[in-house]
Amino acid sequence: MTGLAADLELIRSAALEAGALALQARDKGLRIWSKPGGSPVTSADMAVDRLLRERLLSARPDHGWLSEETADDALRLSRRRIFVVDPIDGTVAYMKGKPWWCIPIAVVEDGRPVAAVIHAPALGETFTATLGGGARLNGQTITASDTADLDDASVLADARLLEGPEWAEPWPTMRFEKRNAIAYRMALVAAGAFDAAIALTPKWDWDVCAGALIVEEAGGAVTDHHGGGWRFNQADPRQNSLVCSAPALHPLIVRRTAPIPLAPRQSSRTPA
């Protein structure tokens, strides 16, 4: 098994184990509390984080670690390779028994993802990719849509954001839907189920890192709303915004969104 194939199998099997643990934990009953800023976290988030950290770092002890539910450590910045993990992306959906949550894991090397998995346990869907190896859903090759016109495009975004009157160039009529987990939205774009996912506020690396590789390996495009590319494992582990789309739609979206200033970053988990 090649290096990237071995990395992918490691994170895929860990994600499947973590998904089973999350489902069992919810059935048994969750403890729920609020993090600083008000977002909810559950006992299952923490249990999945512990499981993944143990499984992944025991297999790759030389790797760094970045997770939503682990205190950040500057040591990761000195590591060429790190794991980027969100134990449960879409915690609100998970708590409410809805299926739109997932476990995204990426292996990052020199600032770019090289292996990725997004596992949606309640849906039985596992998206995977390796750098240069294409993207797959449950083992079958996936590709982003060939949609080339924003008119009637299917978009995962807040309709109120894009339908307001403040846009210098009005948006055409599009079909909007919502999914809780950012990583899962990106996976759906990679699979061609939706034409684009747009968010104009900063997004944490653990929400978007795995999706970035899967979308790009499926032939889609991922940047911030100015068209700027992403680099991971930086001191501030966030990207400015998200434009994730079919390749032909990407310049049409960026043309409209680029005049918007970058959003201020209110808080940071800059490592100590």
pLDDT tens for 144-187 read 999 999 999 999 999 988 887 789 888 999 999 999 999 999 99
pLDDT at position 215, please? Answer: 98
Q: 266 pLDDT band (50/70/90 cuts)? A: low
Residue 271 has pLDDT above 60, yes or no: no
- Same domain (yes/no): 96, 53: yes
Percent of the chain past pLDDT 90, that is, above it, reads: 89
Alpha-carbon gap, residue 191 to 13, rounded angstroms = 21
Domain of residue 38, CATH code: 3.30.540.10
Is residue 11 in some structural domain?
A: yes
| 63 touches 79 (CB < 8 A) | yes
Residue 140 host element (H or E): strand 140-141
Amino acid (one-letter) located at 202: P
Give the residue from 112, 141, 170 where a domain finishes.
Answer: 141
- Same domain (yes/no): 124, 229: no
- Same domain (yes/no): 91, 137: yes
- Same domain (yes/no): 42, 169: no
Is residue 264 in some structural domain?
A: no
Is residue 236 in some structural domain?
A: yes
232: nearest Cα among 119, 112, 139: 112
Total domains present in the chain: 2
- Same domain (yes/no): 23, 120: yes
Owning domain of residue 108:
3-141
Is residue 167 in some structural domain?
A: yes
Residue 37 has pLDDT above 70, yes or no: yes
Amino acid (one-letter) located at 92: V
Is residue 271 in some structural domain?
A: no
- Same domain (yes/no): 20, 132: yes
The two structure tokens encoding residue 261: 């200033």
pLDDT at position 264, please? Answer: 74
Stretch 266-272: mean pLDDT, rounded? Answer: 59
| 207 touches 69 (CB < 8 A) | no
Alpha-carbon gap, residue 45 to 22, rounded angstroms = 8
pLDDT at position 1, please? Answer: 61
189: nearest Cα among 217, 220, 223: 220
- Same domain (yes/no): 116, 179: no
Is residue 34 in some structural domain?
A: yes
Is residue 39 in some structural domain?
A: yes
- Same domain (yes/no): 253, 219: yes
- Same domain (yes/no): 63, 184: no
Give the residue from 107, 141, 175 where a domain finishes.
Answer: 141
Give the residue from 116, 141, 166 where a domain finishes.
Answer: 141
- Same domain (yes/no): 32, 137: yes
CA atoms within 13 A on the CB side of 272: 3
- Same domain (yes/no): 20, 109: yes
Domain of residue 185, CATH code: 3.40.190.80
Is residue 147 in some structural domain?
A: no
Q: What end-to-end distance do the CA atoms of the chain give, in Å? A: 37
- Same domain (yes/no): 70, 97: yes
| 210 touches 14 (CB < 8 A) | no
pTM of structure: 0.96
